[in-house]
Amino acid sequence: EIVELNAMLNSILDRFDMILLSPNAQFSDNRKIKIVREIPETPEFWVDIDYDKMTQVLDNIMNNAVKYSPDGGTITVSLEKVGHKVQISIADQGLGIPKEDLTRVFGRFFRVDKSRSRAQGGTGLGLAIAKEVVETLNGEIWVESEENKGSTFKLTFNYVEDELLLSGKNWDDD
Ligand code: ATP
Ligand code: MG
């Protein structure tokens, strides 16, 4: 399935904006969290992925970004080309993730600081599922973080070159 990421990200973020900006929303609880988009206008970010699975992954990461953001925090979502890959970054200003846990957060049931996490709710499965899904889509996912400054989740996928889009190849749903 050929997906255009500019439009996809915008529609996902529209949904999060709607929830975050609506008064009395349980999810946001008026925490005044803002989403900033650094998404180019031109629809040129084509990737061969499954739209629904990708939505699930981005929902997971965005839910974490909101959950672990401080009140008044900004979540910056950007889309850019890096080499021959398309890169999505989701950066929050939350409490961050210790260095030794940067890969462990993608493990099943792993949660940084059990007591702190328990208060936030959740099972510790979100990122494990996200990583599995990203790998079935031939992408990569990792996190960079500075404690007490924030975390940035990055995802890369192979870019579908224009020549392929124009070649008339039949793209079957996988
Ligand atoms: P759920 O299954 O509901 O998603 P969860 O959010 O605790 O539960 P994961 O999404 O897998 O589980 O995340 C694993 C752990 O990684 C979290 O418990 C948290 O400690 C840490 N983590 C994830 N995202 C962030 C973030 N944006 N900032 C800080 N810590 C994070
Ligand atoms: Mg989660």
**Mean pLDDT for the chain overall:** 89
**pLDDT at position 171, please?**
57
Q: Name the pLDDT band for 106 (thresholds 50, 70, 90).
A: very high
Query: What three-state secondary structure class fits 156?
Result: strand
In angstroms, what is the span from residue 93 Cα to ligand 1's centroid? 14
Is the beta carbon of 127 within 6 A of some atom in ligand 1? yes
Q: Tell me the per-residue pLDDT of 8-35, one tens digit each, with 9 for 90 and over.
A: 999 999 999 998 888 766 666 778 899 9
Best of 101, 105, 123 to mutate for ligand 1, by most ligand atoms within 8 A of CB?
Answer: 105
Cα 41 to chain centroid distance, Å, stands at 19
pLDDT of residue 21: 85
Tell me which of 9 and 119 has the higher pLDDT: 9
Q: Is 106 in the pocket of ligand 1 (CB under 6 A)?
A: no
Asked casually if ipTM beats, i.e. exceeds, 0.90, the reply is: yes
Ligand 1 pocket test, candidate residues 115, 120, 127, most atoms within 8 A of CB: 127
Identity (one letter) of the amino acid at 113? D
**Looking at the CA of 110, which ligand is closest?**
1
Whether ligand 1 lies within 6 angstroms of the CB of 139 is answered as no
Task: Report the predicted TM-score, pTM, of the whole model to 2 decimal places.
Answer: 0.91
What is the Cα gyration radius of the chain?
17
CB 111 within 8 A of CB 122: yes
State the residue for tokens 């510790």. 124
